[in-house]
Copies of this chain bind each other. A is one copy, B any other.
Amino acid sequence: MSKRVFLFSEGETNKDVLGGKGASLSTMTNLGLPIPFGFTISTQTCIEFLNNGKNYPEGLWDSVLLSMKEVEKISGKQFGNVDNPLLVSVRSGAAISMPGMMDTVLNVGLNNDIVNAMIKLTNNSRFVKDAYRRLIQMFSDVVCNLNLEPFNDLLDQTKHDAGVEHDFELNDDQLDGLISGYLQLFRENFGSEFPQDPYTQLDLAVKAVFNSWNNKRAIDYRNHENIPHDIGTAVNIQSMVFGNYGDSSGTGVLFTRNPSTGENRIYGEFLINAQGEDVVAGIRTPISISSLQDKWPDIYKELVDISKKLEHHYKDVQDIEFTIEESKLYMLQTRNGKRTGAASAKIAFDLFSEGLITKEEAVLRVTPRDVEESLFPSVVWENQQKSSYYDLINIEQALQTKSLNELKKSASTKIADKIGHGLPAGPGAATGHVIFDSDLAEKIIKGTIEAPFEVTMTRSIGDRVVPRLILVKKETSPEDFHGMVASVGILTMRGGLTSHAALVGRQIGKRVIVGSSVSGLELRGDSLGTKSGVVVKEGDIITIEIFDEGLVYVGALPIITPDKLPNELETILDWADEIAKIKVRTNADKRNDTTVAVNFKTTGTGLARTEHQFFDALDLVREMILADTVVERRKILDKMVKLQRNDFIDLFTTINGLPMTIRLLDPPLHEFLPNELELRQRIWREQLHPDSEESRVLRKVLYYQESNPMLGLRGTRLGLLFPEITEMQTRAIIEAAIQVKAQGIAVFPEIMVPLVGFRTEFSEARKIIDSTAEKVFKEKQTRLDYLVGTMIEIPRAALTADEMAAGVDGADFFSFGTNDLHQMTLGFSRDDVAKFLPFYLENKIIEEDPFQTIEETGVGRLMNMCVELGRASASKSNKYLKVGICGEQGGDPKSIDFCYRLGLDYVSCSPFRVPVARLAAAHATLHNGDVDPKYGKKLE
């Protein structure tokens, strides 16, 4: 049996054993810092207790008693001794922080006799009686699980009768009345007297803390945060110190550096004559920690010294709780401080500059989430400090407005009114038209129906411009999923940070405010109203801004998305690039997107789709599809080749010497054809002749209609059936490359064949590509290098990767199309998954949305197989097979870690994910060590 009880002075500082709080107290004791002495019962003891029918394991109580003797010795007081009484706190503290989820009992050791004795001893009866009142209330709640309502009612009644507002304004008599009322309530509700024996109090308090490990909110929190259920909480028993002893006492919290900006200066709040819970309760306004400098310069200096000491020990910013009792400083807790994305990089950079951490550690200190936060869209406020280091471009609106100045101008003239606030569930900011119905939202976005209001806020999906919607609901349920997907932001009246809207909304990357009814917002029939009488109707524009809290404005505010990172973050990402062994490319098929990615230091384009080039020339494409002969088709393709070539010239110029993977035409032809229903309606209404153009088009629409278009005539199947399309695209690529190269810009075209399942398909496609390229080289009297590779998105391609890569004319590279690969390997149609995926996630049938994070067990096993088979096969022809990923999971940190372990050469993600991916790529190396790039790291 391992040791269960540890004095703070014993030297043990293992968090897993002592929990976070216990470990920090022991550490601070080791560092010689002033702390109220005490001891910790180990986390494992909690599990023993719970598994032992909620009984102490043998010997535990004896150890506790022995330790109490030590505490008495150090404090010079005695537990239960009316002459010199020791009071203790009994606090929970798990190895992984679960703030507020478990219980704490303070002032343990007080009883009727000791109260009287202490009053004499301290000469401060209000303080002592208040402490007793608090003990009874906390004990009733935490230990005895009594309903607190009658206690609160009595407190309110007492304050009301006394004509005061705050607890601390009650006088001696009033407190006496409250205490006897509390004791009576305890008796009536619990069925026996409030325990007067201090050790009985201690015994019950320890058991209560153990039991709080399994209270509902703790279990829910662990489920949500993926914290194991079998690690238990420690119990910390510690001498009480009192910040509410009088005017030379107080309590405070501080960060050793500013957690919002990272500025290297202690930062925090302090409340004179108060206990910790008073700070949290927010009854009085605390003073800034810096004001202590003048008030109590010695204590301020002590705090700064201790801060530096703790930072040097933990090598990170600390979030510290402390109490001053009668001018003496006591440290209560320290832990690594949470910080904003912006602060994170600055802190890490500064800690490195101060020699506290290495570059690698600095890189690890910044989380992908921090980088994300630095890139969240936000409202452009006139003269606003926090975005001053951005070189701002509004990406979401820039395509229309083009200039930041215009944006700023509009910001200064069009400030909207704040109408409410709520919990910050999905960070960022968004402006859009209010919509109250999920079905309607989806239909508007899909274009099934027109928006029933004037649309002024729009965004692009692929090549379509759709209204920008903000879904407003009482609360959301799985049936709203499609509406949430269709919207840019979500605002709910009810629900907390773990509500459906918060969890799912954040997961699908939306801006989300929940629980906004606290601010008086209310959904009434078909409108959103405020107490002050503002009424927002369907289609009206609101703005939501979510950082530390969620703010709701009526009207449009300009939203900006930064395309430049804070300097320290830039530096840290440069370090990350030095560490990373897996490159970060981008998925970009337009000049603007490519520019953003290049600014973010992408190493190339991993996926340039060519579809939009077809949508841009939709009339030509339809003509081509309607053509009945190769000759007709070729005539049209001759026109298209020019359009495509110009587009590729643009892209090659923008990517400026980096490699660019261009995917040949992928979508099924019917995507380019008009909507069946509309055609039919028109034909019916206008009674059009079967020989009419519309009828002819309808027949083609019907011909190209498919039961499962995802698995139908698309990708290389199209390119082989209509080789003239493959020829046209190859010609456009090679001609563009030759032209750009002639201008002195290096070009590395990598032509990618989509939807390949059989080696024969790849070989046929390659034949068309190579022979077309040769033709162009001959015509232009020059040549250049290019690669031909294949998407790996059909499971069979992965299963037969050895064939795909075999021989000198095998695929030069693989690029995992993880979207389709997941669709086929899991049998999940992404477009249809909304009907069951939320249910699956909620019921833990699957753990993560596979369209966000690579599903490692199944799909990952297949990918691993593919890389090994492919690389081994290529190496037989003395070829190194480059392998990357261009599915959307390529920007997900967990997936990047997996890709690194697979030994991939690069991930590719959307331009705005490039910085996140660069960081994640470095983290992957640091977390996993070196990985053989040839075959990857054996998984499992």
Q: Contact at A826–B794, with CB atoms within 8 Å?
A: yes
The reply to whether the CB of A571 lies closer than 8 angstroms to some CB of chain B is no
A713 touches B836 (CB 8 A): yes
The answer, among B680, B764, B845, for a CB contact under 8 Å with A758, is B845
Indicate if the CB atoms of B796 and A827 lie closer than 8 Å: yes
Closest chain B CB from A869 CB (angstroms): 10
B interface footprint on A183-225 (CB within 8 Å = 1, 0 otherwise): 0000000000000000000000000000000000000000000
| Among A677, A708, A761, residue most surrounded by chain B Cβ atoms (within 10 Å) | A708
Interface string of A692-729 (1 = CB under 8 A from B): 00000000000000111111110001001100000000
Instruction: Check B829 against A712 for contact (C-beta < 8 Å).
Output: yes
Instruction: Select one of B721, B760, B826, B832 contacting A708, CB under 8 A.
Output: B832
Which residue of B is nearest A482, CB measured? B703
Q: Are A707's CB and B827's CB within 8 A? A: no
Question: Which of B710, B712, B758, B845 meets A760, CB within 8 Å?
Answer: B845
With both beta carbons as reference points, the residue of chain B lying nearest to A837 in the complex is identified as B717
Chain B residues with Cβ under 8 A from A755's Cβ?
827
| A721 adjacent to B836 (CB under 8 Å) | yes
A704 nearest in chain B by CB position: B835
Interface residues of A in 418-475 (CB under 8 A from B): none
In the complex, chain B residues whose CB is within 8 Å of the CB of A825: 794-796, 799, 824
**A857 interface residue (CB < 8 Å to B):** yes
Q: How does the 8 Å CB contact mask read for A817-843 relative to B, with 1 for contact and 0 for none?
A: 000100111111101110110010001
Pick the residue among B764, B794, B858 that contacts A827 (CB under 8 A).
B794
B708→A831 contact, CB < 8 A: yes
| A626 at interface, CB cutoff 8 A | no
Interface mask (A716-754 → B, CB under 8 Å = 1, otherwise 0): 010011000000000000000000000000000000000
Query: Does A939 interact with chain B (Cβ within 8 Å)?
Result: no
Q: Please, which residues of chain B bring their CB within 8 A of the CB of A857?
A: 800, 803
Structural contact, B800 and A861, CB atoms closer than 8 A: yes
Report chain B residues within 8 Å CB of A721: 835-836, 839
- Would A757 and B823 count as touching, CB distance under 8 A? no
Query: Is A846 interfacial (CB 8 A cutoff)?
Result: yes
Which of A796, A803, A844 neighbours the largest number of chain B CB atoms within 10 Å of its CB?
A796
Residues from chain B with Cβ under 8 Å of A707 in the complex: 709-710, 829, 831-832
Residue A859 CB within 8 A of the other chain: yes
- Residues of chain B within 8 A of A859, CB atoms compared: 796, 799
Bound complex: CA of A914 vs CA of B848, how far in Å?
44
Main secondary structure of the interface of A (DSSP, over half): helix
Nearest chain B CB to A435 CB, angstrom units: 18
Q: Which of A797-826 contact B (CB under 8 A)?
A: 799-800, 803, 820, 823-826
B824 touches A827 (CB 8 A): yes
From A797, which residue of chain B is reached at the shortest CB distance? B858
Interface size range on A against B? 35 or more
Contact residue among B758, B803, B829 (Cβ-Cβ distance under 8 Å from A706):
B829
Q: Indicate if A862 sits at the interface (CB-CB under 8 A).
A: yes
Within 8 A of B (CB), among A627-680: 677, 680
Residue interface bits A756-768, CB-to-B below 8 A is 1, else 0: 0110110010000
Residues in B whose Cβ lies below 8 Å from that of A833: 712
Question: Whole-angstrom distance between the alpha carbons of A95 and B764 in the complex?
Answer: 32
Q: How far is the CA of A711 from the CA of B823 in the complex (A)?
A: 8
Contact A858:B799 (CB < 8 A) given known A825-B824, A827-B755: yes
Which residue of B has the minimal Cβ distance to A862? B799
Q: Are B712 and A709 in contact (CB under 8 A)?
A: no
Give Cα A845–Cα B708 distance, bound, in whole angstroms. Answer: 22
User: In the complex, which of the residues B717, B761, B803, B829 contacts A711, with contact meaning CB atoms closer than 8 Å?
Assistant: B829
Q: Whose C-beta in chain B lies nearest to the C-beta of A834?
A: B713
Interface hub of A677, A711, A720, A794 (most chain B Cβ within 10 A):
A711
Which residue from chain B places its CB closest to the CB of A861 in the assembled complex?
B799
Give complex CA distance A831, B709 in Å: 10
Given A858-B796, A858-B799, answer yes or no on A828-B761 (Cβ-Cβ < 8 Å): no
How many copies altogether? 2
Set of chain B residues within 8 Å of A855, measured between Cβ atoms: 796
- Taking a contact as CB atoms under 8 Å apart, the answer to whether B709 and A832 are in contact is yes
Interface pair A711/B794, CB less than 8 Å apart: no
Q: Which residue from chain B places its CB closest to the CB of A764 in the assembled complex?
A: B845
Least Cβ–Cβ distance between A112 and chain B, in angstroms: 55
Give the complex CA separation of A764 and B843 in angstroms: 10
**Cα distance A706–B827 in the bound complex, in angstroms:** 13
Which partner residue on chain B sits nearest A763 by CB separation?
B845
A857 closest partner in B (C-beta): B800
- A823 partner residues in chain B, CB cutoff 8 A: 708, 711
Q: Are A858 and B713 in contact (CB under 8 A)?
A: no
Q: Which residues of B contact A796 (CB under 8 A)?
A: 825-827, 855, 858-859
The answer to whether A824 touches B800 (Cβ under 8 A) is: no
Known: A706-B829, A845-B760. A835 touches B795 (CB 8 A): no
Report Cα–Cα, A713/B833, bound state, in Å. Answer: 7
Question: When the two chains form the complex, which single residue of B757, B795, B820 contacts A795, counting CB atoms closer than 8 Å?
Answer: B795
Chain B, residue nearest A835 (CB): B713
- Which residue on B lies nearest to A858, using beta carbons? B796
Q: How distant is A172 from chain B, measured CB to nearest CB, in Å? A: 60
A858 touches B826 (CB 8 A): no
Give CA–CA (A836, B859) in the complex, Å. Answer: 27
Complex Cα gap A812–B497 (Å): 42
B residues in contact with A828, CB < 8 Å: 711, 757
* Chain B residues whose CB sits within 8 angstroms of the CB of A862 once the complex forms: 795, 799
By the criterion CB–CB under 8 Å, are B706 and A826 in contact? no
Would A706 and B832 be within 8 Å (CB), given that A757-B827, A760-B844, A827-B796 are in contact? Answer: yes
Which residues 366-388 of A sit at the B interface, judged by CB distance below 8 A? none
CB distance from A324 to the nearest CB of B (A): 53
How far, in angstroms, from A853 to B212 measured CA to CA in the complex?
61
> Could you say which residues of chain B place their CB within 8 Å of the CB of A708?
708-711, 823, 829, 831-832
Whether B858 lies near A800 (C-beta < 8 A) is yes
User: Which chain A residues numbered 830 to 883 have a C-beta less than 8 Å away from chain B?
Assistant: 831-833, 835-836, 839, 843-846, 855, 857-859, 861-862
A846 and B758: CB pair below 8 A? yes
Q: How far is the CA of A799 from the CA of B828 in the complex (A)?
A: 15
Q: Which residue of B lies closest to A803 (CB)?
A: B857
Q: Please, which residues of chain B bring their CB within 8 A of the CB of A764?
A: 843, 845
Q: How far is the CA of A795 from the CA of B721 in the complex (A)?
A: 27
* Chain B residue with Cβ nearest A844: B760
For residue A713, which residue of chain B has the nearest CB? B835
> Which of B757, B839, B843 interacts with A826 by CB under 8 Å?
B757
Residues of chain B contacted by A836 (CB below 8 angstroms): 713, 717, 720-721
Closest chain B residue, CB of each to CB of A855: B796
In the assembled complex, the Cα of A824 lies from the Cα of B836 at a distance in Å of 19
Smallest CB-CB separation from A755: which chain B residue?
Answer: B827
Q: Mark A783-797, 1 if CB is under 8 A from B, else 0.
A: 000000000011110
Could you say which residues of chain B place their CB within 8 Å of the CB of A803?
A: 857
Kindly report which residue of chain B lies nearest to residue A859, judged by CB atoms: B796
Q: How far is the CB of A474 from chain B (nearest CB, A)?
A: 19
A677 neighbours in B (Cβ, 8 Å): 680
Docked-complex contact B835 and A712, CB < 8 angstroms? yes
Q: How far is the CB of A683 from chain B (nearest CB, A)?
A: 12
Closest to A448 in B: B702
Quick check: B832 and A713 within 8 Å, CB to CB?
yes
With the chains together, A757 CA to B829 CA distance in Å? 13
Say how far A501's CB is from chain B's closest CB, in angstroms. Answer: 21
Report chain B residues within 8 Å CB of A684. Answer: 684
Q: A833 vs B709: C-alpha distance in the bound complex, in angstroms?
A: 10
- 5 nearest A-B residue pairs (beta carbon): A796-B858, A711-B829, A708-B829, A707-B831, A712-B832
A-B contact pairs, 12 of them (CB 8 A): A707-B709, A708-B710, A708-B829, A711-B823, A711-B827, A713-B836, A758-B846, A795-B795, A796-B826, A800-B857, A800-B861, A824-B827
The interface of chain A, by Cβ under 8 A from chain B, is 677, 680, 684, 706-713, 717, 720-721, 755, 757-758, 760-761, 764, 793-796, 799-800, 803, 820, 823-829, 831-833, 835-836, 839, 843-846, 855, 857-859, 861-862
12 extra interface residue pairs, beta carbon distance < 8 Å, beyond A764-B843, A800-B861: A684-B684, A711-B711, A711-B828, A712-B829, A720-B843, A721-B835, A757-B827, A758-B858, A760-B844, A760-B845, A794-B825, A824-B827
